[in-house]
Structure 1
Amino acid sequence: MIEVAAAIIENDQGQILIARRKKGKSQEGMWEFPGGKLEPGESPETCLIRELQEEMGIEIIPYEWFGNNEHDYGTVQIKLIAYMAKYSQGEIKLTDHDEYRWAGRSELSEYDWAPADIPFVERLLSLRHPIPRESLGS
């Protein structure tokens, strides 16, 4: 099983960063929370900081575990580990994706999601209150 980290990144307006997998990638054309594979011995938080810098050129601050989801894609099984994160800085430059959006939580159901991300979308849609950010310390 491959461990993959996903970042649910919020901006100051409470919108969430989502990205569409580009043609030629697995799950092409589907939307996901950005992230990537954990390297041996790497924590999900460290992975997300590294992957978002490499794949999008931005800095984030992961601050709270959001959940795990195991999904079998047939040819590969993944364990998706999601963390809430705060957008810190940088201008988005796409490498593994062909499009991105800052979406309001209520808009998330309008997108065609990669299957492993769907439980996190459903959980975000079910939350009645803004996502707590006490652990940010700001």
Structure 2
Amino acid sequence: MLPGRRRAPVGRPEVDVAVGVVRSSDGRVLLAERRPGTVGAGYWELPGGKIDPGETPAQAAVRELWEELGVRVQELEPWRVHTHDFASARLRIHLFHVRSWSGDPTGREGQRLAWVDPRQPAVGPLLPSNELAMTALGLPDLMAVARVDRGPDGPGNLMDQIPTLATRGVRLLIVRAPDLASAQRVQLGRRLMRVSRGTGLRLVLSGTPLEALQSGADGLHTGATALSAATERPPIPLWVVSVHHSGDLARATALGADAALVSPVLPTPARPAHEPLGWDGLRRLVEAGPLQVFARGGLGPDDLGPAIAAGATGVAVDIDRVSIPAVART
């Protein structure tokens, strides 16, 4: 759960709700529109509702999906818990992945339903308390990681590659520029955002939360060392972190990260002193928690299949490994 106050703001109660993520075979997510006459009428949200006294969150999710949609849940997996403050209440939202279900989803209470691409929902507006979840659900399975060094050619070379990355299945680019000054990283982020506009490529800047915000980047990347010093989730829509072991992963989960790059999975010259996890080690880390994990270290686009077989969401590869066209699933 995201860190926050233990008590709701004065005059506002805390309300626990259970929410189910129902996905179609092609990766679309089911949303429901709030009915006229209800709080938030006209907003779209992931289906769910309040947890009744005596219910567990999982029981509430199963009940709500049946009552609201006629969906019979056969397999439910806890995903994440976070809080969101509305003017009238603080919601504690318990999210579940519905791994197996039956029935034909129908708005049994008169609400409209829609199957949407979580990256670009065709309906809206989205209920604000659902925005974090939808951002995480929209992550692609192929990410690229680029390092920009000092010198006039570094930023230019990367910007020249943006159109090619987009045509080769990359939908998210993490940019690292540790040797640049803070103002230079912000400027780099702004230039890359301009170049990538209209390509479908999202930019995640490695640095501080303020740098990511000032650059207008789509998200923030935090390395394992900075993660160890973090005490709360940064105010960023998309937060990706790097982790190397189970302790890092547990901390990232507790702080509310959206995704973790786990490395090294295979031997890599960049980390010769680190024993590679291997596919079995990656599988054990994935099974240890609900966070979306991307395999990294010694990998290329062709390793997407083994990574997914190990339970990862996808792979994060160095930009120079994206040399063979690869089509991402989302």
State the TM-score, normalized to the length of structure 2.
0.37
Measured in 2, the distance between the counterparts of 1:32 and 1:124 equals 13
RMSD of aligned C-alpha atoms?
2.4
Q: Name stretches of at least 5 consecutive residues in structure 2 with no aligned partner.
A: 1-13, 143-291, 293-307, 312-330
Match of 1:69 among 70, 74, 82: 82
Shift of 1:41: 2.8
1:129 aligns with 2:141: yes
Measured in 2, the distance between the counterparts of 1:92 and 1:76 equals 29
The aligned residue for residue 82 of structure 1 is 95
Measured in 2, the distance between the counterparts of 1:17 and 1:51 equals 14
Q: 1:36-115 alignment to 2 at 5 Å?
A: 36-86=49-99, 88-96=101-109, 98-108=111-121, 111-115=124-128
> Any idea what the Cα deviations from partners look like across 1:101-127, whole Å, max 9, x if unmatched?
1112332376311111111112222x2
Moved over 3 A (4+): 130-134
Shift of 1:54: 0.8
Measured in 2, the distance between the counterparts of 1:50 and 1:32 equals 17
Which residue type is aligned with residue 128 of structure 1?
Answer: P
Match of 2:43 among 5, 30, 33: 30
Count how many residue pairs are aligned between Structure 1 and Structure 2: 133
1:118 aligns with 2:154: no
Measured in 2, the distance between the counterparts of 1:66 and 1:108 equals 21
Secondary structure of the corresponding residue to residue 133 of structure 2: helix
Measured in 2, the distance between the counterparts of 1:31 and 1:81 equals 17
Q: Name stretches of at least 5 consecutive residues in structure 1 with no aligned partner.
A: none
Q: Which has the higher helix share?
A: 2
CA change 1:118–1:52 in 2 (3 A) is: same
Q: Which has the higher strand share?
A: 1
Which residue type is aligned with residue 51 of structure 2?
Answer: L
Decide which structure has the larger Cα Rg and report it: 2
Shift of 1:42: 1.6
Which residue type is aligned with residue 47 of structure 1?
Answer: A
Which residue type is aligned with residue 105 of structure 1?
Answer: P
The 8 Å contact of residues 19 and 97 in structure 1, kept in 2 or not, is answered as no
The aligned residue for residue 205 of structure 2 is none
